[in-house]
Amino acid sequence: MRRPLLIAVVTLTAAVALTAQQPQTPGQLRPRPAEGREPEFPQPTIREYKPRSTLVVPQHPVPRAKFAVIDMHGHPFAGPGPVKAEDYEKVVKAMDGINVQLMVNVSGASGERLKQMLDVIRNSPYPDRMAVFTNINFRDPVGPGFGAATARQIEDDVKNGARGLGEIMKGFGLTAKKVDGSRLHLDDPELDPIWDTCARLNIPVHIHTADPAEFFQPIDFHNERWLELALYRDRRYDDRSKFPSFEELMGERDRLFATHPKTKFIVAHMGWHANDLARIGGMLDRMPNLTTEVGAVLYDIGRQPRAAHEFFLKYQDRIMFGKDAFQPDEYPYYWRVFETNDEYFDYYRDYHAFWKLYGIGLPDNVLKKLYYQNAMKIIPGLPHGRFSS
């Protein structure tokens, strides 16, 4: 009668010994399947492993948006040179195919370059297809009087036809300097005349602060943006001796927004909080002068379809469509996420996301607000002719 007991004790002892060699989760009684095993075949690299999905579900690609769209975060032209009539026409033709009826060029133009670009648009057969924002030059160090001088230039640019300020790029906060060599903080009082002037002129300020939080974290195999950081050296901000932390920049940004409650700020890229909808929602709750847009964060929206659906319903009056990089073949992924309930489909850039997307199935009234109605409210002077109510 003792032999079975002895066998059981030996077996349990061996299992405990093996378990002790492996990390255990609370309550785990034995090693999990495959713990300690290694593949028998050569392992693919992170870019080689592209398993084909065997999932069979309905597919509803959306090549053209259901309703006319205002892309309020557009970068349509390559390079800093003068815009030619043929460049503009090429962009408009591409917009036609995806139902983007108006693009807001937030690459930013000021002074003579702004006037040249607006002349091309006004003298073309398509004078109602593009609006242009002015911008701020942070390439040179900021000293006393910079804010007031920039505010005067913004006022001139608005008189010449600029519809807003931006996109103020991530260099503001990361690399922009003061004349003493210190980092220019987003909430530096020297810049107050700029934000006050925008409030007085009733134009929005489109501001891109920092980059995804993982860009500021150690670049290891726990970082879900590892491949992107490995590909792009200029997106690595984990060195605290060179760059502020993500939270430091977010603090400066939020103080800027709160200090200027009469200025309309458009928080670019959902503030890089599309992975934390409660955070961007809290910002919108606390600060009624904020709106946001969805440029370049579809990978986060599409991986949480139920939470995103509820978020877009709750904040339907505060979110605008924006794409960022003008790649016409990428827009249909946005239409599919916003307009369908499709499951488990590819994102368009594998180095942004290793996961699949899901549709969030927005109702028509919310789609119209997202696609064009909210932009009409926020950005003054946009042409209305191509949009129904």
Give the integer Cα–Cα distance in Å for 107 and 76: 8
pLDDT above 70 covers a percentage of the chain that reads: 93
In a domain, 35, yes or no: no
29 pLDDT band (50/70/90 cuts)?
confident
Find the CATH number of the domain harbouring 240: 3.20.20.140
Q: What is the pLDDT of residue 27?
A: 72
In a domain, 55, yes or no: no
Number of domains the chain contains: 1
In a domain, 19, yes or no: no
Residue 303 has pLDDT above 50, yes or no: yes
Strand partners, 292: 267, 319
Model confidence over 142-197: pLDDT tens digits?
A: 999 999 999 999 999 999 999 999 999 999 999 999 999 999 999 999 999 999 99
Q: What is the pLDDT of residue 5?
A: 40
Give the integer Cα–Cα distance in Å for 261 and 196: 10
In a domain, 299, yes or no: yes
Q: What is the pLDDT of residue 80?
A: 75
What radius of gyration do the chain's Cα atoms show? 25
Question: Residue 262 sits in which domain range?
Answer: 69-378
Strand partners, 69: 100
In a domain, 80, yes or no: yes
Element (H, E) at 142: none
In a domain, 237, yes or no: yes
In a domain, 387, yes or no: no
What is the residue whose two structure tokens read 């495959």? 34
Question: pTM of the prediction?
Answer: 0.91
Give the integer Cα–Cα distance in Å for 206 and 165: 6
Contact 320, 375 (CB under 8 A): yes
Residue 79 has pLDDT above 80, yes or no: no
pLDDT above 90 covers a percentage of the chain that reads: 85
Q: What is the pLDDT of residue 70?
A: 98
Model confidence over 314-368: pLDDT tens digits?
A: 999 999 999 999 999 999 999 999 999 999 999 999 898 889 999 999 999 999 9
What is the residue whose two structure tokens read 């910079």? 146
Give the integer Cα–Cα distance in Å for 131 and 31: 61
Give the integer Cα–Cα distance in Å for 99 and 190: 42
Task: Name the residue among 350, 344, 300, 296 with its Cα closest to residue 321.
Answer: 296
Give the integer Cα–Cα distance in Å for 94 and 327: 9
Strand partners, 205: 165, 265
* CA trace torsion 216, 221, 226, 230 (10° rounding): 100
Q: What is the pLDDT of residue 290?
A: 98
In a domain, 208, yes or no: yes
Give the integer Cα–Cα distance in Å for 86 and 359: 36
